[in-house]
């Protein structure tokens, strides 16, 4: 009956389709409300918002509120409170937004007003407010960071006012921190324009001015000792210009260039970086909730030098070589033994000085090139002038050092083919090669000392261990004074004498060579001697346990008394009169590091064997033990022959 079945199938599928479509439309339309604990990054609080569900994603729609403040926490040890208020449309922040966060402590004074207790606050408050359209800032956005004392603004730590139009900054902006105010202009398309000027709050003349021509930063003027020094930065003529965001890595790059040319760091870049940081914080909150782009979005035009694969590979190899050279440097510079040796050894002192020179002449500028490579900023740098840009003077292969009046030179071996005459990426690559070779050569020459330093360090650690190991035996001897049978005390004393004898052999060995190896073996040996000493100290107690085990209680019918009877006397007898004397004899007259491990395991093992044998049928064994005086044979009969020599 296939026909009806099929009809049924079709009907079912149709029904299913209908209901799925129905559900989808229903959910697309239906707003859901959330109210409860919520977390965005470090912010944990109570949220209240509405959302719809689309393809398993919750899309925020409508008003949004999230906040936290705890009076109890505030009174105890301060409260981190925040409140984020705004609107979403289709998951994008839209409309007026106010984001406030702060960390407060309760201040002095307080009063009751209209049945409410008002408390003064101390702390720092961050406040960002402005309008968003479709996830982008639009209109003026103000971000302030204020220091609050007794509920009043004490200092304005930072203030940023930027006018946006659909996410792009327009017209004027103003950034302030405690000391400076930066005023700048941007074109409608977000490109920096005209002059960006930084004023000190307590001076009239501008501290630093960036002059833009059509978005290109052509000149930087810095007030230095009441004199303005201007230096050109990017040229508008020489090359193709591209737009670039003035983001953190780019600002660091610009800052580096300015520092190179001006000899001092740029205050404008630090204000801009700070501003970017605050914008990023707000953006993190927005993107956690929906889709948004919240950046100052200043753009500049910079010369662009397309980079080819050869250069890309060169840059990568410079980075690699630099990293190797850097780690070699630190292993030389941080070796404590070298640091001591250089005081008495002029050659080491010289090489040490060479390393310092290599660091400042090659490694530090190389680090900046590596940074460019890692931040993908190389295309914005004219690689033809790379050396001129990052090296004050082109370095030479000969490193000259002057130590207490006498001058010596160093140059890395086998580096003739490395060409230092150019100024491009290849030359920089040659610099890095040279530096690595130089450091390698120095490391090789110092290797003996470096290794010896390491060895000396391990010897010192080893010697401490050796002494503490020897002390253990001494301590056992003291702790058991007068409490052990003479045989036991004598044996421990013999262990101590032996340990001291071995220690003196070690002490008499010359430094270097086999000393470390001998010491390490001795350490192992002493560890076993310690265990042996401790075991001997415990032996009477362990054997007492065995004796207990081998004692039966017997009722004597003539005395009417219960008496202890030792059973299987041949077993305990073999231990008492053959094995134990043999162990002590070996310890006192015939000890040797190669025997200690064996001895200890046999000594311990014989007690274990006795405990085991108590429960077993040992008639045969007892017969074999009769009159057996050879410890080797007894050990075999006790099944300890595997350890026997």
Partner 1 sequence: MNSIFKTFGCLLLLVFTNILTTYAQDKTELPEEAVYKDPKTKVWLNTYGNIRISKRLFWDAQTHFRFEETKNTPFLGQVGQIYNRHAIGYIYSKKVSFRAGGVVRINFNTDESSTDRNVVPEWRIWHQYQFAQPVYTAMIYHRIRIEHRWTQGFAENSEYIFRNRWRYMFRAKIPLTGHKLEPKTFYVSPEAELIMQSGKAVVASPMEDLRLTTTIGYILTPRLTFAAGAMYSQGQDLANGGFYKQNWTLRFHMYYSPDFRKVKNKLPAIHFDD
List contacts with partner 1 (CB under 8 A).
552-565
- What six digits make up the tokens of 387? 């050396």
Angle formed by the axes of helices 309-333 and 364-374, to 10°? 140
For partner 1, the closer CB: 15 or 554: 554
Strand partners, 78: none
Minimum separation from the CB atom of position 639 to partner 1 (A): 22
For partner 1, the closer CB: 44 or 612: 612
For partner 1, the closer CB: 403 or 562: 562
- What six digits make up the tokens of 319? 């980075």
Residue 39 to residue 45: CA distance in whole angstroms: 6
Half-sphere exposure of 136 toward its Cβ, with a 13 Å CA cutoff?
A: 11
Minimum separation from the CB atom of position 610 to partner 1 (A): 17
| DSSP structural state of residue 191 | B
Minimum separation from the CB atom of position 580 to partner 1 (A): 21
For partner 1, the closer CB: 400 or 566: 566
Minimum separation from the CB atom of position 617 to partner 1 (A): 9
Residue 151 to residue 121: CA distance in whole angstroms: 5
Residues 507/522, Cβ–Cβ less than 8 Å:
no
Q: What is the distance in angstroms between the CA of the first residue and the CA of the last residue of the chain?
A: 88
With residue 531 as reference, give the H or E element that holds it: helix 515-549
Strand partners, 146: 125, 156
Minimum separation from the CB atom of position 616 to partner 1 (A): 11
Minimum separation from the CB atom of position 556 to partner 1 (A): 5
With residue 127 as reference, give the H or E element that holds it: strand 116-133
Minimum separation from the CB atom of position 547 to partner 1 (A): 14
For partner 1, the closer CB: 292 or 546: 546
Minimum separation from the CB atom of position 566 to partner 1 (A): 9
Residues 242/381, Cβ–Cβ less than 8 Å:
no
Minimum separation from the CB atom of position 597 to partner 1 (A): 37
> 451: how many CB neighbours lie within 10 A of its CB?
13
Which residue do the tokens 């919240």 mark?
294
- What six digits make up the tokens of 529? 């001697």
For partner 1, the closer CB: 564 or 641: 564
Residues 643/601, Cβ–Cβ less than 8 Å:
yes
For partner 1, the closer CB: 517 or 615: 615
Minimum separation from the CB atom of position 546 to partner 1 (A): 18
Minimum separation from the CB atom of position 632 to partner 1 (A): 31
Residues 474/526, Cβ–Cβ less than 8 Å:
no
Minimum separation from the CB atom of position 564 to partner 1 (A): 7
For partner 1, the closer CB: 10 or 561: 561
Minimum separation from the CB atom of position 570 to partner 1 (A): 15
Write the CB contacts of 385 (distance below 8 Å, at least 6 apart in sequence): 423
For partner 1, the closer CB: 552 or 630: 552
Sign of torsion, CA 291 296 300 305? negative
For partner 1, the closer CB: 225 or 553: 553
Half-sphere exposure of 203 toward its Cβ, with a 13 Å CA cutoff?
A: 13
For partner 1, the closer CB: 417 or 559: 559
For partner 1, the closer CB: 117 or 555: 555
Residue 81 to residue 85: CA distance in whole angstroms: 14
Q: Write out the DSSP string of 25-83.
A: HHHHH--EEEEEEEEETTEEEEEEEEEEEETTEEEEEEEEEEEE--HHHHHHH-EEEEE
With residue 271 as reference, give the H or E element that holds it: helix 267-289
Write the CB contacts of 402 (distance below 8 Å, at least 6 apart in sequence): 408
């Amino acid at each position: 009956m296939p026909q009806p079945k099929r009809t049924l199938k079709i009907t079912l599928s149709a029904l299913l389709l209908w209901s799925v479509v129905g559900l989808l439309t229903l959910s697309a339309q239906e707003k859901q409300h959330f109210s409860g604990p919520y977390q965005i990054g470090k912010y944990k609080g109570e949220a209240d918002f509405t959302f719809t569900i689309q393809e398993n994603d919750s899309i925020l729609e409508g008003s949004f509120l999230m906040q936290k403040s705890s009076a109890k926490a505030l009174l105890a040890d301060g409260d981190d409170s925040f409140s984020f208020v705004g609107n979403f449309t289709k998951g994008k922040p839209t409309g007026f937004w106010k984001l406030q966060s702060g960390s407060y402590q309760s201040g002095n004074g307080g009063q009751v007003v209209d049945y409410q207790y008002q408390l003064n606050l101390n702390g720092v408050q961050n406040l960002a407010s402005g309008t968003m359209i479709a996830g982008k800032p639009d209109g003026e956005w103000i971000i302030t960071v204020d220091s609050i004392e007794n509920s009043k603004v004490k200092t304005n730590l930072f203030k940023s006012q930027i006018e946006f139009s659909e996410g792009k900054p327009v017209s004027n902006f103003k950034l302030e921190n405690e000391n400076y105010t930066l005023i700048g202009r941007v074109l409608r398309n977000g490109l920096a324009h005209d002059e960006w000027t930084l004023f000190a709050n307590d001076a009239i003349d501008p501290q630093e001015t960036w002059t833009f021509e059509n978005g290109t930063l052509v000149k930087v003027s810095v007030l230095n000792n009441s004199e303005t020094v201007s230096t050109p930065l990017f040229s508008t003529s020489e090359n193709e210009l591209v737009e670039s965001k003035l983001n953190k890595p780019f600002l660091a790059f610009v800052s580096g260039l300015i520092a190179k040319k001006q000899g001092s760091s740029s205050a404008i870049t630090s204000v801009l970086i700070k501003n970017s940081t605050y914008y990023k914080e707000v953006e993190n909150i927005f993107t956690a909730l929906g889709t948004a782009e919240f950046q100052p979005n200043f753009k500049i035009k910079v010369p662009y030098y397309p980079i080819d694969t050869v250069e890309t590979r060169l840059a990568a190899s410079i980075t690699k070589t630099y990293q190797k050279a850097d780690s070699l440097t630190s292993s030389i510079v941080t070796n404590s033994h070298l640091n001591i040796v250089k005081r008495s050894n002029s050659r080491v002192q010289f090489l040490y000085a060479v390393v310092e020179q290599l660091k400042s002449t090659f490694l530090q500028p190389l680090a900046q090139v590596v940074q460019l490579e890692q931040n993908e900023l190389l295309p914005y740098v004219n690689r033809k002038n790379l050396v001129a840009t990052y090296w004050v003077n082109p370095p030479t292969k000969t490193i000259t050092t002057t130590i207490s009046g006498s001058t010596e030179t160093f140059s890395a071996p086998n580096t003739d083919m490395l060409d230092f005459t150019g100024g491009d990426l290849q030359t920089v690559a040659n610099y890095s090669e040279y530096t690595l070779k130089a450091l390698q050569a120095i490391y090789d020459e110092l290797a003996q000392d470096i290794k010896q330093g390491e060895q000396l360090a391990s010897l010192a650690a080893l010697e401490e261990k050796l002494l503490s190991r020897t002390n253990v035996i001494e301590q056992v001897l003291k702790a058991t004074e007068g409490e052990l049978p003479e045989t036991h005390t004598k044996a421990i004393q013999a262990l101590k004498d032996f340990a001291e004898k071995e220690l003196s052999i070690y002490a008499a060995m010359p430094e270097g060579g086999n000393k470390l190896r001998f010491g390490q073996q001795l350490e192992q040996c002493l560890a076993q001697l310690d265990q042996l000493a401790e075991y001997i100290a415990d032996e009477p107690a362990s054997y007492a346990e065995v004796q207990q085990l081998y004692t039966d209680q017997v009722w004597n019918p003539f005395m009417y008394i219960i008496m202890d009877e030792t059973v299987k006397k041949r077993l305990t007898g073999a231990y008492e009169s053959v094995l134990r004397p043999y162990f002590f004899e070996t310890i006192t007259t015939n000890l040797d590091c190669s025997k200690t491990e064996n001895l200890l395991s046999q000594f311990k093992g014989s007690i274990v064997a006795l405990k085991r044998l108590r429960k077993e049928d040992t008639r045969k064994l007892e017969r074999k033990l009769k009159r057996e005086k050879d410890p080797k044979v007894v050990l075999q009969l006790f099944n300890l022959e595997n350890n026997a020599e």
